[in-house]
Amino acid sequence: CISACPKQANAIHFGTLSSSAARWADTTTGSAIDTAAHTMSIGTNAVSGYSITYLGDTLKSGTNDINVATIAGDADGTPGSEQFAVAFSTAGDATIAAGYEHATPNWKFVANTTSTVVSETVPTNTEVISAYYLANIATNTPSGSYSTSITYIATGNF
The string over 29-49, giving b where at least 16 C-beta atoms fall within 10 Å of a residue's C-beta and e elsewhere, is: ebbeeeebbbeeebebebeeb
The whole-model pTM stands at 0.93
Using alpha carbons only, give the angle 101, 33, 20 rounded to the nearest 5 degrees: 105
Tell me how many helices (H) and strands (E) the chain has.
0, 12
Q: What pLDDT sits at residue 42? A: 95
DSSP 32-80: SS----EEEEEEE--TT-EEEEEEE---EETTEE--B-EEES-SS--TB
Query: Quick check: bond before 142 cis, omega within 30?
Result: no
Give me the pLDDT at residue 92, please.
92
Tens digit of each residue's pLDDT, the chain (158 residues):
333 334 445 799 999 999 999 999 999 999 999 999 999 999 999 999 999 999 999 999 999 999 999 999 999 999 999 999 999 999 999 999 999 999 999 999 999 999 999 999 999 999 999 999 999 999 999 999 999 999 999 999 99
Give the residues across from 42 on adjacent strands.
127
pLDDT of residue 4: 37
CA distance 23 to 21: 7
